[in-house]
Amino acid sequence: MKAAINKMIPLSVVDGPGCRTAVFVQGCNIACAYCHNPETQRLCNGCGICVSQCPAGALSLSGKNVIWDEAVCTQCDHCIRVCPNYASPKVRWMEAVDVWEQISKNIPFIQGITVSGGECGLYPEFITELFTLAGNAGLSCFLDSNGCVDFTKHPKLMAVTDKVMLDVKAWDSQVFHRLTGKDNSVVKKNLNYLAKVGKLYEVRLVCLDGESSSGPSEDKEVDMEDVIRGVAAEVNPYLEDFKLKLITFRNYGVRGKMENRKSPTQNQMEKLKELAVQCGFKEIQIV
Amino acid sequence: MNKILDIVTSKNLTYEQKVVALAHAAENSLEVLSIPERTHHYMDTGAICDLDEGHAPYRPRYIMPDYEKAVKNGCEFLQMEAPKDLDEVLQYLTILYRHVPSITSYPVYLGNIDKLIEPFLNGVTDEEAEKKLKLFLIYLDRTITDGFCHANLGPEETRAGRLILKLEKELQNAVPNLTLKYDKDITPDSYAELALYTSLYCANPAICNHKMHKDTYGDYGISSCYNILPIGGGSYTLARIVLPRLAAEAKGREQFLTELLPDCLSCMGDYMNERIRFLVEESNFFETSFLSTEGLISRDKFLAMFGVVGLAECTNMLMGDPQKTYGHNEEADDLAEQIMQVIADYAGSVKAVYSEVFDNHFALHAQVGIDSDHGITSGVRIPVGMEPELMYDHLRHSARFHKFFPTGCADIFSFDPTGRNNPAAMLDIVKGAFSLGDKYISFYASDSDLVRITGYLVKRSEMEKYYEGEAVLQNTVHLGGDNYRNAHLENRKVRGLQ
């Protein structure tokens, strides 16, 4: 089974517990306004705009396919910036066994692997195959998901997945829709399901500047306090079983209406953490 | 006499540094060692380097007193009884340290400091202990003005160790260097993670592979720049073979391996034996030092460290192909291993005098370099700026070459500060590396004021003062400042970055 692979990071200290190899799949089922790697959102449609603009001459067009010559590429990422389609020509369709062959070279330095994206949930069969191989080698297998694919419908994948890191981007469905273009009922369903089966590693909230100001939620992009309270109420019996990660919004890589948006202050982040403590979360990390 | 006058009138030496430099100049006015012509040749080319140890050895280079014994028995010469509480043990140790000589005139080894203190923490609250330990640590940093000073922690978790780690993070001291002896079957993950977390704030402690060192000679300590030595003994001397300087006179690979290298090794071994002979037979050190007469050290626990430096450049010179370099090419690494094997065979076969503790042989040591080295990489390290893209490849390469060195071989990694949020990741890397045979790893954060030079620590801010011509407290700031510039350490590859 193949998946479109955007990149692999052999040594990651930010994708779950311990040292991990992170695999980023290409393609996403939502489009967050603050996405910091928008080039992972869609698959290349072969328009060829990037080909003539590549300073290293590493790209060529073959029919409707952009061919990427990794040996010539200088990783300047100009192709990604000029792509009008939120895609990347530097994507490879890879078999799970081939991805595994590369990851296995990182043993004994890693304790596990994490599949992120894009949205990992778009490739359940591929990941099931990859996680089976990795699990057999003693590695822990984590998913990093936006929660918009219903995990209860993928029992085989869940059987080989140790834990999931779940984004909860907004609690109010209208706010969520404005931010991502999609509905968040599946996110809440996943939150419940993962907490109940003990597969929730962390819930991640991207915190924007000014969201804690008062007023009706329609006036704001995301009400972070609403998200914290919402998650706490939804999975209240399980708050000691997973970590709450409060992610400070940074505009690196962001395109569109939020690309010049300021980061929240440390003080704002600490206030959110205080609220999370009051709501009963036990392990809270600000990054 | 101009050199003496230069020392006396120097503007960037402290009074104390002048006294040490004057003593060194006096020693070097003697010629008591018998050195053959051939050896002089290698010394002139710099292929054999005596690290400026001095012309008339009158104390061993590195001394590793048995502090446990001293604390248990008291010290007659210093007129001190065995300490009975925390105040007494801290005062006892500070006094004792003052009287432990070394090549730098400062103690290079302060003991398994957590274990020395731990028994005296009973009934003392954390708050009380922290206050006392803080004063103790500040005293050490400000009076042992030499970054080669080293103390050890672990492998067991101790309360004293935790308190010291906490204080070091806060104090940002360059002295002492700390090393955690790490054994995955003894050291709890949480303690090792605390140590690694701390190292991303103050570049201390480094991590030593306890499993690989615990049986070398029984109880061991780490002194100075990763010298793994027997407790109650130490190292008489450390000379080094500077491989690229030797390779410069090679007539091809074969001649280097079969003629030149063995000849130079033989000269260096003879020279080291001559130093040991004078120290043991003529200097009267072991007859007169209270450390020796009271059994805190014992002559038969000393060995001699046979230093190797610049394997990378030597290999690259002999390969003569910029496409095939050490750390990046199998053929080059095979040649490097061949070179190391010749050295190891020499060390394993030739007699080192008065070296019973190491089976009467020289003990190989990956010497980390000195301030005046240009284009010569520490021991068997891969040159700064040429490190493999992937840290795992780097560590695998290290494991292949660390195996030759019983008395210390280490790598230094500049790590991205995000590691502070996930010390477990660093521990995974350490565990993986140690399982492959890496012997010693140290980290510092790429944004930290304290940086590890070749083994010792120096503050970037102090180096800046030195560059401006100011006198600075620690003599290692001079060495580190020059080394940092000459070896371009700012180019060290930062690991853990995405």
- Does a structural domain hold residue A87? no
Distances in Å between the Cα of B96 and the Cα atoms of A206, B138, B437 are: 56, 16, 36
Q: Which of B424, B427, B496 sits opposite A11 (nearest CB)?
A: B496
Can you give the C-alpha Rg of chain B in angstroms?
Answer: 22
- The CA distance from A66 to A71, in Å, is 15
Q: Which of B391, B431, B435 sits opposite A11 (nearest CB)?
A: B391
> Which pLDDT band, with edges at 50, 70 and 90, does A217 fall under?
very low
Are A160 and A21 in the same domain? yes
Strand ranges, E, within A117-223: 140-145, 163-167, 200-207
- The CA distance from B458 to B486, in Å, is 15
Q: Which of A82, A104, A134 is the last residue of a domain?
A: A82
Query: Which residues on A lie below 8 Å from B390 (Cβ)?
Result: 10-11
Does the CB of A107 have a partner CB in chain B at under 8 Å? Answer: yes
Put simply, the chain B residues between 378 and 417 with a CB less than 8 A from any chain A CB are 390-392, 395, 416
Query: Which residues on A lie below 8 Å from B425 (Cβ)?
Result: 12-13, 18-20
- The CA distance from A32 to B337, in Å, is 53
Calculated CA dihedral for residues A222, A223, A229, A230, nearest 10 degrees:
-40
Are A25 and A54 in the same domain? no
Query: Which residues on A lie below 8 Å from B418 (Cβ)?
Result: 13-14
Q: Express the helix, strand and coil content of chain B in percent, nearest 5 each.
A: 50, 15, 35
- The CA distance from B408 to B152, in Å, is 14
pLDDT at A214 over 70: no
Q: Which of A10, A12, A17 sits opposite B424 (nearest CB)?
A: A17
pLDDT at A261: 86
pLDDT at A212 over 80: no
Put simply, the chain A residues between 27 and 46 with a CB less than 8 A from any chain B CB are none
With CA atoms as reference, report the closest residue to A274 among A264, A284, A263: A284
Joined tokens for residue A215? 């007023």
Contact B452, B462 (CB under 8 A): no
Are A66 and A126 in the same domain? no
Q: Do B498 and A110 touch (CB under 8 A)?
A: no
Does the CB of B494 have a partner CB in chain A at under 8 Å? Answer: no
pLDDT at B498: 64
**Domain layout of chain B by residue ranges:** 1-30, 33-60+227-409, 65-223
Q: Do A11 and B495 touch (CB under 8 A)?
A: yes
- Does a structural domain hold residue A234? yes
Contact B471, B13 (CB under 8 A): yes
- The CA distance from B66 to B232, in Å, is 5
Lowest mean pLDDT among A146-150, A256-260, B134-138: A256-260
Q: Specify the CATH number for the domain of residue A212.
A: 3.20.20.70
Q: Which of B419, B428, B498 sits opposite A109 (nearest CB)?
A: B428
Are A107 and A222 in the same domain? yes
Amino acid at B469: G
**Cα first-last separation, chain B:** 56
pLDDT at A213: 44
Q: Specify the CATH number for the domain of residue A55.
A: 3.30.70.20
Are A121 and A205 in the same domain? yes
> Which pLDDT band, with edges at 50, 70 and 90, does A220 fall under?
low
Are A218 and A150 in the same domain? yes
Contact B336, B329 (CB under 8 A): no
- The CA distance from B315 to B326, in Å, is 6
Residue A14 burial (10 A CB sphere; 0-12, 13-18, 19+) = middle
- The CA distance from B167 to B150, in Å, is 16
Are A166 and A74 in the same domain? no
Are A209 and A68 in the same domain? no
Length of chain B: 498
Q: Is B287 helix (H, G, I), strand (E, B) or coil?
A: helix
- Does a structural domain hold residue A141? yes
Distances in Å between the Cα of B262 and the Cα atoms of B9, B257, B317, B347, B361 are: 44, 7, 18, 11, 16
Are A26 and A50 in the same domain? no
pLDDT tens, residue order, chain B (498 aa): 588 999 999 988 899 889 999 999 999 999 999 999 999 999 999 999 999 999 999 999 999 999 999 999 999 999 999 999 999 999 999 999 999 999 989 999 999 999 999 999 999 999 999 999 999 999 999 999 888 899 999 999 999 999 999 999 999 999 999 999 999 999 999 999 999 999 999 999 999 999 999 999 989 999 987 899 999 999 999 999 999 999 999 999 999 999 999 999 999 999 999 999 999 999 999 999 999 999 999 999 999 999 999 999 999 999 999 999 999 999 999 999 999 999 999 999 999 999 999 999 999 999 998 888 889 999 999 999 999 999 999 999 999 999 999 999 999 999 999 999 999 999 999 999 999 999 999 999 988 888 888 778 888 888 888 888 888 888 788 888 888 888 788 888 888 776
pLDDT at A211 over 60: no
Distances in Å between the Cα of A22 and the Cα atoms of A6, A37, A38, A73, A230 are: 11, 15, 17, 21, 29
Helices (H), B289-422: 290-293, 311-319, 330-349, 391-402
Contact B352, B361 (CB under 8 A): yes
Are A104 and A211 in the same domain? yes
- Does a structural domain hold residue A70? yes
Total domains present in chain A: 2
| Phi, psi dihedrals of residue A8, rounded to the nearest 5° | -130, 135
Name the residue range of residue A59's domain: 44-82
Are A59 and A157 in the same domain? no
Q: Is B180 helix (H, G, I), strand (E, B) or coil?
A: strand
Q: Is A124 helix (H, G, I), strand (E, B) or coil?
A: helix
> Which pLDDT band, with edges at 50, 70 and 90, does A222 fall under?
confident
Cβ contacts of residue A37 below 8 Å, gap of 6+?
A6, A24, A253
Query: Which residues on B lie below 8 Å from A9 (Cβ)?
Result: 498
Put simply, the chain A residues between 237 and 276 with a CB less than 8 A from any chain B CB are none
Query: Which residues on B lie below 8 Å from A10 (Cβ)?
Result: 390, 392
Q: Which of A82, A110, A137 is the last residue of a domain?
A: A82
Are A154 and A54 in the same domain? no
Q: Which of A9, A13, A106 sits opposite B422 (nearest CB)?
A: A13
| Residue that wins the pLDDT comparison between A59 and B1 | A59
- Our CA angle for B175, B439, A104, nearest 5°, is 125
Q: What is the pLDDT of residues A79-135, one digit of tens each?
A: 999 999 999 999 999 999 999 999 999 999 999 999 998 999 999 999 999 999 999
The alpha carbon of residue B441 is apart from the nearest alpha carbon of chain A, in Å, by: 14
Between A and B, how many residue pairs show a Cβ–Cβ distance under 8 A? Answer: 57
Lowest mean pLDDT among A139-148, A213-222, A253-262: A213-222
pLDDT at B428: 98
Chosen from A6, A11, A13, A15 to mutate, greatest number of chain B CBs within 10 A: A13
Does the CB of A287 have a partner CB in chain B at under 8 Å? Answer: yes
